[in-house]
């Protein structure tokens, strides 16, 4: 349900054209992160889910870093639509 709402809001046209786009992948990772976060609120000692969450967070962060370097406008638009905090630079 959450996945479908984000896809329809963000990439109605792009979903049909390009499912491998960075925005689409970040949207999918964000949905997985939100589901895992809700799961971990109920199951605090599920360490395998915690590990999976950290892996997905890293993948999303790498994609967001790539997008910010390639196209800052698309990055800011995506951050605003998904309500994600701006990534920290090293």
Q: pLDDT digit string (tens) for 23-71?
A: 999 999 999 999 999 999 999 999 999 999 999 999 999 999 999 999 9
Using pLDDT thresholds of 50, 70 and 90, give the confidence band for residue 86. confident
CA distances from 17 to 1, 4, 8, 27, 55 (A): 22, 16, 13, 16, 28
Q: What share of the chain is helix, strand, coil (3-state, %, to 5)?
A: 80, 0, 20
Homologous superfamily in CATH for domain 20-82: S15/NS1, RNA-binding (1.10.287.10)
The predicted pLDDT at position 3 comes to: 55
Contact assessment for residue 32 and residue 49, using Cβ atoms and an 8 Å cutoff: no
Q: Where are the domains of the chain?
A: 20-82
The predicted pLDDT at position 19 comes to: 79
- Asked if pLDDT for residue 7 goes beyond 60, the answer is no
Average confidence (pLDDT) over 6-15: 54
């Amino acid at each position: 349900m959450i996945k479908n709402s984000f896809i329809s809001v963000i990439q109605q046209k792009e979903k049909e054209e390009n499912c491998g786009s960075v925005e689409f992948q970040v949207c999918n990772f964000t949905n997985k992160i939100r589901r895992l976060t809700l799961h971990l609120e109920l199951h605090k000692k599920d360490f395998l889910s915690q590990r999976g969450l950290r892996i997905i967070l890293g993948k999303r962060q790498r994609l967001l870093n790539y997008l910010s370097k390639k196209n800052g406008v698309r990055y800011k638009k995506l951050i605003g639509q998904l309500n994600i905090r701006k990534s920290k630079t090293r």
